[in-house]
Structures are given as structure tokens and as C-alpha cells.
Amino acid sequence: SGYVTLDSGYKNTGATKSAITFLDGEEGILRYRGYPIEQLAEQSTFMEVAYLLIYGKLPSAQELNDFNSQIMRHTLVHEDVRKIFDGFPSGAHPMGVLSSLVSALTAFYPESLDPNQSQDEVNLNIKRLIAKISTLAAWSYKNSVGHPVNYPKNKLDYVSNFLHMMFAFPTEDYEVNPVVTSALNKLLILHADHEQNCSTSTVRMVGSANASLYSSVSAGICALWGPLHGGANQEVIEMLEEIQKDGGNTQKWVDKAKDPNDSFRLMGFGHRVYKNFDPRATIIKKAADEVLTALGLEDSPLLKIAKELEQAALTDEYFIKRKLYPNVDFYSGIIYKAIGIPTEMFTVMFAMGRLPGWIAQWKEMRENKEPIGRPRQIYVGEKERNYVPLTERA
């Protein structure tokens, strides 16, 4: 296959044409359907951005209202799904539980397996998935700590309902704090799409075989879980906590990340595409300051360590030369932690945020009738050789 070019990690290969997200890594520009991420993060809600990504335009007030209420109508999951939960050991990582249960939804909605389903059926499955992922995510947390689950309250908006399912107890209500809902909306918006990253490419690849939306997204959740991708947000907080336990010497950890004989990397630093700054990180850093101040946590030792670590790395020759800057996940964990989201749930939050992007990309691929994804390779194995019977082998 002399015509195959090798591009390990697809650093230069465009796998598709897409009209969803524009990203300029040199200039640090990110736009969803043409709208700058800064404007969306400041002014819109997660549901509005979900609609924008999936349907290509900002909704009218009526469209948004309909979209919201149709989604909230589907937040309940089948009671049999709870039986599946019971099969997981408590303490199971919520990402493994989430991907399994999203895949299990194919069993409850088998019509989703039909590649020829009508546009109305596709839209119904899209709304079901957006609705149910919030319930499954909250329940996977409840399961991980051995608590009884909370049923959705459909009168609430999407983000407030999620917080209710996470934090209400059967004996007491959860009072939604507007600082928290606004921070969560912002985080979910900033994570909502990022063109052909690892998990999105996975969703498109799986979907290109005409696999169902649920199966494709379940595969995307597994890809996102990896510590080099979405799993980094959990790793950042764990790293900051370790630095704190270690006495807060950030320079020591920067040196460790530079050591060629040490596989440790500064989590939350570096990006495949952004080579000057990650615009999402700029917004999140500001949001972290605002949220922590609003919650009276501005003296958080982790925030202090994060800022020192960032400063130490940004002024270090090793990081400067390699164009390594804080990415979206460097400060996101600090906000999640401040608003009470447990560390093991951070990547689940990323998955909830990225879901509209995965859906939009799956839908675009389907509507464009893209061919099945099937990369080639450069074979470097043995030349032809003859089979040796077992008794004659050395």
C-alpha cells in the first residue's frame, strides 16, 4: 500500500468537513456555529448552546422553551435501569457506570438501532439522551457513595434539576444557589464541543458504522475517561492535593514534569491544538476567582497552589519552548470542588457538557452520509513465512 501516508495521532489529517465548531489553535479562537465562546459563556445557558450546536442556530424564546420542556419530560429512566445499578459494586467509578448505562439504553429504545429511523425518531432519541444522561450521571454518583437516588424534578431547569438529583436527600431539599447554577452552566458550555478531539472522533467513528446514537456516545464516554483527555480534570485536583500534602512546593513539581526520566506530566497543561493559550482556560480562571469569592472560599489553598504552579510553569523555559499552557481542565476542577461536586464526578461533568457536541457531530455525520471510518496503516511486521507444526517448534 505505497499510497498510504502515516500520521500517528492524526496530527495533520482532517477526517471530515464540519460546520459546527471553529478552532484556531495559534490565535486561541473557539466558536460554536460562528459564535465566540466568550459571548456564549457569559450570556447563554447550557440548553441554549445545546440547541445551537445540534440544530445550527440560536433558538427563539419559544423554541428554547419547547426544547427545555421536551427534554425535562424525558428525565426519568426506566425502573429496570435501577436494577442494573444494583449490579455495580458501590465505589465503582461513575464514568464506567455511565458509559455502561448509556450503552444499555439501546435495550430500552431498540428502535434507535435502526439506521433508517425518521428525523422525528432521531430527535426524540437526542432529547432522551440529553435528559437521561443527567439522571444517570447523578445516580452513578449516588451509587458510588451508597446513597438512595433522587428522582428528577421536571419543574426545575436542566442544571438545577441535576444539582437536586446530586445533592438532595430524601429528608431535606436542596436549595439551589444561583452562583452555583451560573458557574455550572458556564462550565458545561465551555465543554460542549471541541471539534474532532479524541472522544468526538470516537463518536463519529463508531457512528460511521451506522451504530446507534446511544452506542456511539457510550464509546465517546469511554474515550473521554482517559487521563490524557477528559480524565485530566480529576487528575489535576488530585495533583494539586498531592502538592498541598507535599508542603506546597510547586517548583519541585514543575521540575518533576520536566524530568525526561519521569513519566509525570503537569496535568491540565498542554494541548494538541492550542499553542498560545486555551481560550476556555482564560474564561475558567476568571470564573474560578468569581465563584470562590461569591462562596467565601477565596482563600482556598488549592486555588493558591494552582496559581503558583501556573506561574512557575509559564515562566519556565521547558514549558515556553514546547508552548505548553494551562488548558480547560486546569481550573475547572477547582470550581467543581467549590460547588460540591466530588472529584470522581469531574469527568462525568465533562461528559454531560460534551454530550451536545457529540450529538451534533453524530447527526452531522449521519446527515452528510459520510462513509465508514477506516484508517489504513503502514505494515511493519514479518514478511511471509511458512507455518511450523507445533511438534517441530523450538
* Binding-site ranges for ligand CMC (CB under 6 A): 9, 194, 197, 228-230, 232, 257, 265-272, 322, 324, 327-329
CB atoms within 10 A of CB 177: 15
Give the residue closest to ligand CMC by C-beta. 270
Q: How near is the Cβ of 9 to ligand CMC at its closest, in Å?
A: 6
Smallest separation, CB 341 to ligand CMC (Å): 17
Taking the least distance from each CB to ligand CMC, the nearer of 71 and 237 is 237
In whole angstroms, how close is the CB of 233 to ligand CMC at the nearest point?
8
Least CB distance to ligand CMC at residue 267 (A): 5
| Interhelix angle 346-367/329-338, nearest 10 degrees | 120
**Per-residue b or e along 95-115, where b marks 16 or more CB atoms closer than 10 Å to that residue's CB:** bebbbbbbbbbbeebeebeee
| Separation of alpha carbons 164 and 150, rounded Å | 8
How near is the Cβ of 268 to ligand CMC at its closest, in Å? 5
| Residue in 74, 271, 278, 316 annotated catalytic | 271
Known active-site residue 193: no
Q: How far apart are CA 102 and CA 258, in angstroms?
A: 39
Cβ distance to ligand CMC smaller for residue 165 or 284: 284
CA distances from 367 to 67, 155, 362 (A): 21, 33, 9
Please state the closest distance from residue 23 (CB atom) to ligand CMC, in A: 11
Single-letter amino acid code for the residue at 28: G
Return the number of the residue (85 or 274) whose C-beta is nearest ligand CMC: 274
To the query of whether residue 329 is one of the catalytic residues in this protein, the response is yes
Q: Min. distance of Cβ 287 from ligand CMC in angstroms?
A: 16
209/320 with CB nearer ligand CMC: 320
Please, which residue, 85 or 253, has the CB nearer to ligand CMC? 253
178-215: burial string, b at 16+ Cβ within 10 Å, e else = ebbbbbbbbbbbbbbbbbbbbbbbbbbbbbbeebbbbb
Could you tell me the smallest distance in angstroms from the CB atom of residue 152 to ligand CMC? 29
Closer to ligand CMC by Cβ: residue 94 or 353: 353
Length of the chain: 394
Q: Which three cell numbers stand for residue 27?
A: 490565535
User: Counting runs of H as helices and runs of E as strands, what totals does the chain give?
Assistant: 17, 3
List, in sequence order, the alpha helices (H) in 226-300. 232-245, 250-258, 279-294
By the 8 A CB rule, do 153 and 164 touch?
A: yes
What span, in angstroms and rounded, lies between the C-alpha atoms of 331 and 114?
Answer: 41
Task: Between 207 and 270, name the residue whose CB sits nearer to ligand CMC.
Answer: 270
Nearer to ligand CMC, 329 or 364 (CB): 329
Burial class (CB in 10 A: 0-12, 13-18, 19+), 313: buried
Which helix (H) or strand (E) is 212 found in, with range? none
Quick count: other Cβ atoms within 10 Å of Cβ 245? Answer: 8
Say how many C-beta atoms besides its own lie within 10 A of residue 62's C-beta: 8
Would you name the residues annotated as active-site residues?
A: 271, 329
